A = this chain, B = another copy of it.
Amino acid sequence: MEVELKEMQDDLESLKRALSDPNHHPLILKLQERVDHLTNLAKSATTRRSKVKDMSAEVVDSNPYSRLMALQRMGIVENYERIREFSVAIVGIGGVGSVAAEMLTRCGIGRLLLYDYDTVELANMNRLFFRPEQVGMTKTDAAVQTLSDINPDVVLESYTLNITTMKGFETFMESLRNQKYCQTKNGTGVNLVLSCVDNYEARMVVNQACNELNQTWMESGVSEDAVSGHIQLLIPGETACFACAPPLVVASGVDERTLKREGVCAASLPTTMGVVAGLLVQNTLKYLLNFGQVSPYLGYNSLKDFFPTMAMKPNPQCSNSPCLERQKEYMLAKPARDAAAKAKMEAEASLVTECPIHADNEWNISVVDDESELETTDAHTSSDALPTGLVRELPSADDFQKPPVPEETGNPIDDLEELRRQLDALNAD
C-alpha cells in the first residue's frame, strides 16, 4: 500500500506542474495532504519491530526477551539464549499446532518448519490464532503472516502440502533432512518434530518419517468431544512408537474415513486446545533447554481436571520395521549409554561439593528456621509442608511422579506381545 501511495504523490506533483491555472493548486495541495495522512495511517498499521541481534536480559519495556532471559536469573534455565539454535517442525497448523507455533515464536525459537494443506475457514474461529480476515488463505500463509509480524527473529519455513500423499511425504522427508540451518547428531536438520494433526493416518506418517530418520518427536491430540487431550514423547527405539500400540479402532482394520459422516463435525474448544498446546510447548522447552522433568505422556481430562501420566516401552513385535531397527540400535548402545550416564552423575556429584548453589542470591532468599511451622500457601511451593488447616487431596508430586525408568518396570514386553496376538486374532475374523 505504501508503494501505491508514493506513486500517487508523484502523480499529483506532475498534475500540479501540468496545470497552468494556479487557482487549481489549493485542491491539489489538499489531495497531497490526504495522501500524506493515508501514508501515516498505513505505516502505523504495519509497524514491525526490527530484528534483535542478541537476546538481552536488560529490564526495559522495549526488550522483547527480558521476561524470558529472567528464567536464567531465577535459576530455571541455565542458558536461555540457546533457544535460537533450535529448529522445530510442526505438522498440522490447526487448533493446537497454530498456538504451539505462536508460543515457540514468542519464546524466540531459532527456526520453525510449518506443514499444512488446509485453508482458514470461519468454522476455525472458535480456536485461538487465526483471524476472520484470514479466511480463504492457506493456514501456512496465514501463520507466516501472523508469526513474522510477532517475532521477525524467527526463521519461518512453510510447506503447503499433505504429508499423507506420496509427493507430500517426499518433500516432508527432504525438509527434515536439510541440514543447511541446523545439524543434529542423528543426521537431520531439526531438533524436534511436533505432530498436531487431527487423524490417525497422518500420525502414522509422522511416525514412519521419524522412525526412518531416528528423529525424536512429540505427539498431541484432542478428543472429538473437545474435553480431553494428551501429549506424548516418542524417542525411536527407546519408547513405544505410534505403531507399537495402535488405537483399537484402526488395529481392527476399520477405515477411519468411514467413521466420518456428512453433516457431522467434531466439537472443539479454544480452552482444551490452548491447554494441550501449552503442555506440548512446555514439554518442548523442557526437552530443548534441559530443565524440569520431560513428561513421556501427559493426559488432560478437563471434566474432572485429571492429568494421567504413564510411560510405554517399545513393542518388539511392532509392525513398523524402522522401529524394530531403532530398538536394536538402542539395545546395542545401552552399555555405552549407562557408562556415560554414570560418569556424568559422578562428575555432577563432585561439582556440588565444590561450590555453593546460588552464590549471588539475587532475590535475598534466606533459610527459614525449621522450628517455625508457618509456610506460604503459594501454589508454586512444592514443599511437603502445608499450612495447618489445609488438607492435601493428592499425594505430593515427589511421592509418585518419579521419573519413569522403563528398564525396571516388570516385563511389559510379554504383555505387548500378548496384545499383538489378540489384535491379530481380531483382524483375522
Contacts and interface: CB of A to CB of B under 8 A. Distances in A.
Interface string A18-62: 110000100110110011011001101111110000000001111
Interface in A293-325: 293, 295, 298-312
A88 B414 CA distance: 54
A282 to B, nearest CB: 4
A286 B151 CA distance: 35
Nearest to A309: B393
A282 B269 contact: yes
Given A67-B268, A74-B267, A149-B132, A60 B106 contact: no
A201 interface: no
A127 interface: yes
Contact of A274 (B67, B274, B376): B274
Given A68-B268, A306-B401, 5 more contacts: A44-B133, A61-B121, A106-B270, A271-B278, A310-B392
Interface string A112-147: 000000000111011110011101000000000000
A227 B44 CA distance: 35
A407 interface: no
B24 A126 contact: no
Contacts of A401: 304-306, 393
Interface residues of A, number: 153
Given A126-B64, A304-B293, A270 B71 contact: no
Contacts of A155: none
Contacts of A225: 71, 74-76, 380
Interface stretch (A163-171, A209-217, A241-249, A340-348): A241-249
Contact of A293 (B135, B230, B303, B394): B303
Contacts of A299: 379
B34 A266 contact: no
Number of copies: 2
Given A31-B8, A132-B149, A292-B303, A264 B73 contact: yes
A214 to B, nearest CB: 24
A160 to B, nearest CB: 18
A248 B387 CA distance: 10
A161 interface: no
Interface stretch (A189-197, A349-357, A418-426): A418-426
A79 interface: no
Contact of A4 (B38, B248, B266, B382): B38
A282 B271 contact: yes
Contacts of A245: 377, 387, 389-390
Contacts of A306: 382, 397, 401
A275 B231 CA distance: 13
The 3 lowest CB-CB distance pairs between A and B, nearest first, are A389-B415, A230-B379, A228-B380
A126 B304 contact: no
